Amino acid sequence: MSNETGRAEVFVQAARGGGGKWMVSTQGGGFPRWRGDSRELYFFAADKIVAVDATSKGAVFVPGPPQVLFGTPLVGAGAGHSDFFLYAPARDGSRFLIGRRPGGAPEGAPLPIVVVLN
């Protein structure tokens, strides 16, 4: 995640060695998370969770087009580094755990845990 373009965007770059750098978000984005098999990258954009298919051809990363998965009231997106952990995809990407501050709850107040099934 970088703001080198003037706004927060999501990039992919090799952790070791040289190689390229590829921007995967197109309308801003942040707080990226990889699916367990690294074939998909998720990130937060405005009030949505977005997915990008991730493939490579040799040393070249080939991102698919960003696909909006669903809207979400992600807690405090962009407010600070601690917000990075406010959502987590299941290893296979079939479910997401998302933190949400109840209406009117002050910053730093303990949050209740609510589990929704089906």
Q: Where are the domains of the chain?
A: 11-98
pTM of the model: 0.75
| pLDDT tens digits along 34-59 | 999 989 999 988 888 999 999 888 77
| Residue 81: pLDDT band with limits 50, 70, 90 | very low
Q: Are β-strands 30-34 and 48-57 bridged in parallel, bridged antiparallel, or unpaired?
A: unpaired
Q: Are β-strands 96-98 and 87-89 bridged in parallel, bridged antiparallel, or unpaired?
A: antiparallel
> Does pLDDT of 9 surpass 80?
yes
The per-residue pLDDT of the chain, averaged, comes to 81
Instruction: Give how far Cα 49 sits from Cα of 44, 97, 103, Å.
Output: 5, 12, 20
- Residue 84 — φ and ψ, nearest 5°? -55, -25
Instruction: Give how far Cα 70 sits from Cα of 16, 42, 98, Å.
Output: 33, 11, 12
> Does pLDDT of 71 surpass 70?
yes
